[in-house]
Amino acid sequence: MKLDNTDVKILDILQNNGRITNAELAKRIKISPPPTAERVKKLENAGVINRYAAIVDPEKVGIESFVFVEVTLNRHVKDSINKFIRTVKKIDEILECYHVTGEGDFLLKVATCNIKGYENLVINKLTGLPNILHLKTSVVLSTIKNETALKIKGETK
């Protein structure tokens, strides 16, 4: 889907305030509400907007530890990789999983209540993942930048 400048404005606004009313969105992008609603629906139907979410303060809900785990598999065959992926998707503490290049095969972003919670996750879940050769953990000491909005480019004139 090719995005025009109005689509980009809509996306910029919605990424920062997914609860904005259609009327307010229309006012900000300077078109009437019916075409605004149509454009948003078109972006949703095309999968450009794939969901809306609330950004929760981790500390206020008891999440104090974030870690990144580099996972190296001992077998690199399709079935092994697919089994690993299926299993990872079932573990709630794993927020993100990326198939990467480099020394490791996957990079996981994990959130737990504390380091003891991470230790429990390693012992009871991560070491039981299929075909694990090596886990390398980096503990997040502090978060310097944590953005969710993507910088989107539209058509240029």
What CATH number is given to the structural domain containing 116?
A: 3.30.70.920
Report which DSSP code applies to 126: G
Write out the residue range of the structural domain in which residue 65 sits: 58-139
Q: Are 95 and 109 in contact (CB under 8 A)?
A: yes
Q: How far apart are the first and last CA of the chain?
A: 18
Distance CA 143, CA 26 (A): 35
Q: What share of the chain is helix, strand, coil (3-state, %, to 5)?
A: 40, 20, 40
- pLDDT, one tens digit for every residue, the chain (157 residues): 899 999 999 999 999 999 999 999 999 999 999 999 999 999 999 999 999 999 999 999 999 999 999 999 998 889 989 999 999 999 999 999 999 999 999 999 999 999 999 999 999 999 988 899 999 999 999 999 999 999 998 765 5
Q: Is residue 35 within 8 Å of 20, Cβ to Cβ?
A: no
- What pLDDT is stored for residue 157 in this prediction? 52
Q: Supply the pLDDT for residue 156.
A: 52
Cα(153)–Cα(155) distance, integer angstroms: 7
33 and 71 housed in the same domain:
no
Cβ atoms within 10 Å of 123's Cβ, excluding its own: 10
CATH no. for residue 9?
Answer: 1.10.10.10
Whether residue 67 sits in one domain with residue 25: no
| Residue at 148 is within a domain | no
Confidence (pLDDT) at 130: 83
pLDDT at 21: 97
| pTM of this structure | 0.88
- CA distances (Å), 91 to each of 61, 87, 128, in order? 18, 7, 12
Instruction: Examine residue 153 and state whether it is found in any structural domain, yes or no.
Output: no
Q: Are 131 and 62 within one domain?
A: yes
Task: Check whether residue 70 and residue 96 sit in a common domain.
Answer: yes
Question: Which residue shows structure tokens 């995005």?
Answer: 3
Same domain, 29 and 94: no
Residues 14 and 64 in one domain: no
Residue 154 confidence (pLDDT): 74
